[in-house]
Amino acid sequence: MTTAIQPAVPSLTLNNDITLPQIGFGTWQIKDDDDAADAVRSALDIGYRLIDTAMIYGNEAGVGAAVRYHEVPRDEIFVTTKLWNDSHDYDAALKAFDASLNRLGLEYLDMYLIHWPVPSQDKFRQAWRALERLYEEKRVRAIGVCNFKPHHLESLLQTANIVPAINQIELHPHLQQHATREFCAKYGIQVESYSPLMRASRLLAADLQNIADKHGKTPAQITLRWHIQNGLLPIPKSANDGRQRENLNIFDFALDDDDMAAINVMDQERIIVGDPDSPDFG
């Protein structure tokens, strides 16, 4: 049975006045289309309304099928996908968008992101011009980037006509990305957190467990609540419907100043996924 998005889930307003819920459902590493479709259907049933995928995830068809055939109206679901590194040329980016839209089976996208800056190619400004065209043609409601550090954003803004609406970056208590968050705040760019739970690698730490015990919540819920209270937009991923519910059930409590301070000191600048300046992503 489908449930409407929880009334207590706050909304964020992007710099182009588009609104979206402050928590989403990620699909990274759900590679099979059938598995992706099942996971997204479950997420929509539970109340998620922001669904994140990417061409490189290999599951756009499954994600799109779940969105198309679910009883939640399309205009209530915020769908994001991403441009991969081999398509930063202007024409290639336009073709890649068309291919993603066809795989998804949708008439439009809510958000299209450049997945990595790939500074070794130095073509992300070309890709951005293509995204600006797609936005101007109203084929996508908002455009943004992923994994952009301040110096990548500075370079992009030198020639951009449109400021990115979102910068989706790896962000969690052990990688708090203060410099990037400060830069994005200056330009009105919403920060979206992927791997917000550190891939569960540190959720058993005693300091998180102590805060969880205090609130009668799990360490994952404490971590996601930390994102919310920092004005971030986390997109946790789980194919398990129980974990999906747990991750969404974070709007009936608040962390106090001591809780926030205890998590803030956990920062280790610990990258799990990869450095955007690394040649491995070029």
Closest CA to 111 of 197, 192, 203, 211: 192
Contact (CB, 8 A) for 220 and 247? yes
Q: How far is CA 201 from its chain centroid?
A: 19
Residue located via tokens 């300046």: 277
Query: Is 57 part of the annotated catalytic residue set?
Result: yes
Marked catalytic residue, from 48, 57, 112, 194: 57
Residue located via tokens 């540190």: 202
Q: Backbone phi, then psi, for 97, in 5-degree steps?
A: -60, -45
Closest CA to 116 of 135, 144, 92: 144
Q: Can you tell me the distance from the alpha carbon of 29 to that of 231, in angstroms, rounded to the nearest whole number?
A: 26
Residue located via tokens 């590679």: 31
Closest CA to 143 of 123, 155, 158, 160: 160
Catalytic residues: 57
